Amino acid sequence: MDYNCLLESKEYEFLRTSEHLGSNICMIALGGSHAYGTNIETSDVDIRGCALNTKEEILTNQKFEQFVDNETDTTIYGFNKLLKLLSNCNPNTIEILGLKPEHYLYLSEEGKELLKNRHMFLSKRAYYSFGGYAYSQLRRLDNKSMRKLSQPEKEQHILNSIFNASTTFEEKYFEVPEDAIKLYIGKSETDELEEEIFMDITLKHYPLRDYKGMCAEMNNIVKEYSKLGHRNTNAIKRGKLSKHAMHLIRLYMMCHDILINEEIITYRDKEHDLLMDIRNGKYLDDNDQPTKEFMEMVEYYQEKVARAYKISDLPHSPNYNKINKFIADINEKVILRG
């Protein structure tokens, strides 16, 4: 496909006419399946990029964060916003720095400088950011695959999701004493449920806001599972279940690259066949459930990434002084250009 010819079409006229884009653009690149190497014949072209903040925006502290065109699935981030996301190893943005050379459709000098300095954004934060996104994919996978399960089996899925989410609580909330919060499934006293999740809680002198945060996360999981219905059935028909499964494994692969090899590898050439097998439904059974083999694969990658985190030479956080100097240098060039 001639991507540059596509960008010149009327459909992408906004790249040239938007007040935030045009000559401010410093990077245009492929995103989505074309960037990962997992595209199929019917895959849409996703465009990602970055636009420098204007002189006025910089000097008056105006916030241009991103431009989104849903019809073409295009997202162009403002420079200042993008670098903040990159500093957190945000998976949706850090992947922009690890594309194949030919997948960069436009790079200004500032865009080239950004790619040249991509290593400064890497840190052990990747473990939590990629793990969070991977967990989100796992939740979607559970949500969409459990529609044929019995109510008690669905309740166990919810409890498993809560247990998975709780592994990150120690990073975000005040320490909870062992066995202070116990979750388990028991016979329900309501007519609507056969079984349900119960809680035993014993906490003293615990920060209310932290407790509220944990409860909110658990409540959101329960709410998400309760939304199962027509929309999720349609998602299955469109093959989204297997697509979620593929992205789950891909995220673990990318995270491992960052932690061990200190590289951002977006195009998954070596794992292409495995990822396409997952996307094409090889690891779903006749009832559209993830197979035991796939869940063992998930467990393998979870453990692999956890080990990588422990032995990684990356710092726990990026060098913010270096990043801030880079931001200041680029913005200074914009201001001096007038």
Mean pLDDT check: name the lowest of 38-47, 136-145, 236-245, 299-308.
136-145
Q: Are 222 and 199 in contact (CB under 8 A)?
A: no
Average pLDDT, the chain: 88
Residue of 82 and 176 predicted with greater confidence: 82
Residue length of the chain: 338
147 — pLDDT class (breaks 50, 70, 90)? low
Dihedral sign, Cα of residue 53, residue 56, residue 58, residue 63: negative
Strands 74-78, 181-187: pairing is unpaired
DSSP, collapsed to helix, strand or coil, labels residue 227 as: coil
pLDDT given at position 223: 82
pLDDT per position as a tens digit, 11-43? 999 999 999 999 999 999 999 999 999 998 889
Q: At what angle do helices 292-311 and 125-145 cross, to 10 degrees?
A: 170
pLDDT per position as a tens digit, 77-99? 999 999 999 999 999 999 999 99
What are the CB-based long-range contacts (under 8 Å, 24+) for 201-209?
Answer: 202/177, 203/176, 203/177, 206/174, 206/176, 207/173, 207/174
**DSSP characters over 196-211:** EEEEEE--SS--HHHH
Residue 228: DSSP 8-state? -
pLDDT given at position 220: 87
CATH numbers and ranges of domains, the chain: 3-122+318-337 (3.30.460.10), 125-311 (no CATH)
- The CA R_g of the chain, rounded to the nearest whole Å, is 22
Q: Are 252 and 307 in contact (CB under 8 A)?
A: no
Q: Which residue has the tokens 């960008």?
A: 7
Residue of 187 and 156 predicted with greater confidence: 187
pLDDT given at position 235: 47
Angle at 170 between CA 167 and CA 174, to 5 degrees: 145
Is residue 139 pLDDT above 70, yes or no?
Answer: no
CA-nearest of 336, 330, 337 to 51 is 330
H/E stretch holding 50 reads strand 46-51
Task: Supply 201's token pair.
Answer: 């809680």
Residue of 230 and 301 predicted with greater confidence: 301
Mean pLDDT check: name the lowest of 98-107, 152-161, 254-263.
152-161
pLDDT given at position 134: 81
Mean pLDDT check: name the lowest of 212-221, 230-239, 301-310, 327-336.
230-239
Report the alpha-carbon distance of residue 160 to residue 141 in Å, rounded: 13
Q: Which residue has the tokens 């006229």?
A: 13
Residue 260: DSSP 8-state? I
Residue of 109 and 62 predicted with greater confidence: 109
**DSSP characters over 97-122:** GG--GGGEEEE-HHHHHHHHTGGGG-
156 — pLDDT class (breaks 50, 70, 90)? confident
pTM equals 0.75
The β-bridge partners of 50 are 27, 77
Report the alpha-carbon distance of residue 12 to residue 16 in Å, rounded: 8
